[in-house]
Amino acid sequence: MRTSDFSAAPPVGQATAMFVGATRYRGPRSILTLTRTWFKMVKQMKRMDGYRWHTVYYQFPFTLGTIAFFSDRDALLKFARSRHHRDLMCWVTDHGTRNATGGYIRLYNAEPEGYSNGVWRAEADGMAHIPTFTPLSTEAAGPPVHRA
């Protein structure tokens, strides 16, 4: 069912702002040095209002990335201004390529509408599907979910 009420969803399902980023570190020494500030930063992030969930991913050989969800864009941006995050970003970028050789950050906002079913439906707990797919930008209406 299409909905704009995610009050019954788990915290990550209630988030409306998402951060995706990665940093390619110089090598194992940089990654080990990173951990001192990183654990403090994660602890601080989890205590902040608006934090919903995060995960970390690894790409060979020295890239670490984060996907994090926040209640809204302001909560995400407040975290970006936090002490430990600022310290970490300065350490990564202030010395040329001594600690890291590249990175990126992307910020995403959730659309007000989405989908819910079963236990996470705010109005009932029954499983249900939507009758049509969400239309693409070139369509007036999406095709039916079930083929006729």
Query: For residue 133, what pLDDT is reported?
Result: 86
Query: For residue 117, what pLDDT is reported?
Result: 85
Tens digit of each residue's pLDDT (9 = 90 or more) over 2-24: 888 899 999 999 999 999 999 99
Tens digit of each residue's pLDDT (9 = 90 or more) over 31-45: 999 998 899 999 999
Domain ranges of the chain: 1-7+113-147, 17-109
Q: Alpha-carbon distance 72 to 18, whole Å?
A: 8
Q: Does domain 17-109 have CATH number 3.30.1330.60?
A: no
Tens digit of each residue's pLDDT (9 = 90 or more) over 80-117: 999 999 999 999 998 889 999 999 999 999 998 888 88
- Residue 127 — pLDDT band, cuts 50, 70, 90? confident
**Both tokens assigned to 48:** 């902040």
Strand partners, 100: 25
Q: Alpha-carbon distance 33 to 20, whole Å?
A: 22
Q: Among candidates 27, 38, 20, 1, which has minimal Cα distance to 104?
A: 20
Strand partners, 29: none
**Both tokens assigned to 105:** 């950050």
The answer, yes or no, to whether residue 55 has pLDDT greater than 90, is: yes
pTM for this entry = 0.87
Q: Alpha-carbon distance 142 to 148, whole Å?
A: 14
Q: Alpha-carbon distance 65 to 68, whole Å?
A: 10
